[in-house]
Amino acid sequence: MQTRSIDHGLPKPVLYGDLATSLAALLEGETDPLANLANASALLWAALERINWCGFYLLRGGELVLGPFQGKPACVRIPLGKGVCGTAAARRETLVVPDVHAFPGHIACDAASRSEIVVPIVVNGALAGVLDVDAPETNRFDDADRAGLEAFVEALAPRVRWEGL
């Protein structure tokens, strides 16, 4: 599979535009959710600088369960409403956390994480899971990251539908 290489140091709107193009190429003609999530996490890992973890938690049996990701091994199960991921999922809204140590109930899977963004994945009105990206520095994610990653998740959402979701 050939994907366009993404240069680091680009202005964020350009970077996220390139990411959208690469994601569309990866998703083209493929409906398998596991394959699409795996490639999406690999794409983000290759494209985003200054991050230490990126990947997905999927709603299964009423809790978030670890899905495809890049980075160190992580907590497997997160109840809805717990941590940054569980809170974003329960509220169905993106959370940008500039300093995870200041977020009550933050779950420290990787002690290196200092800031985090979590974007809920909603498929046909139902919560399917979240995208979580962690960084080893505070204040890593801004409004441009929020906009870019929300667009990324919106494009991905129709291609990650599990039967029964």
Q: Kindly state whether residue 127 participates in binding ligand SME, applying the rule CB under 6 A.
A: no
Q: Kindly state whether residue 83 participates in binding ligand SME, applying the rule CB under 6 A.
A: yes
Residues whose CB falls within 8 Å of the CB of residue 124, separated by 6 or more in sequence, listed in order: 161
> Could you say which of 44, 132, 145, 149 contacts ligand SME (CB under 6 A)?
132
Counting beta carbons within 10 angstroms of the beta carbon of residue 103, is it exposed (0 to 12), middle (13 to 18) or buried (19 or more)? Answer: middle
**Residue among 47, 51, 23, 22 at smallest CA distance from 37:** 23
Are the C-beta atoms of residues 108 and 100 closer than 8 Å to each other? yes
Max Cα distance, the chain (Å):
42
Choice between 75 and 151, CB closer to ligand SME: 75
Q: Kindly state whether residue 114 participates in binding ligand SME, applying the rule CB under 6 A.
A: no
Q: Kindly state whether residue 59 participates in binding ligand SME, applying the rule CB under 6 A.
A: no
- Interface residues for ligand SME in 14-53 (CB under 6 A)? 53
Q: How far is the CB of 7 from ligand SME (least distance, A)?
A: 27
Count of residues touching ligand SME (by CB under 6 A): 15
d(CA 108, CA 89): 17
Q: Kindly state whether residue 113 participates in binding ligand SME, applying the rule CB under 6 A.
A: yes
Are the C-beta atoms of residues 162 and 121 closer than 8 Å to each other? no
Q: Which stretch binds ligand SME (CB under 6 A): 15-23, 39-47, 73-81, 145-153?
A: 73-81
Q: Which positions touch ligand SME (CB under 6 A)?
A: 53, 74-75, 78, 83-86, 106-107, 109, 113, 116, 132, 134
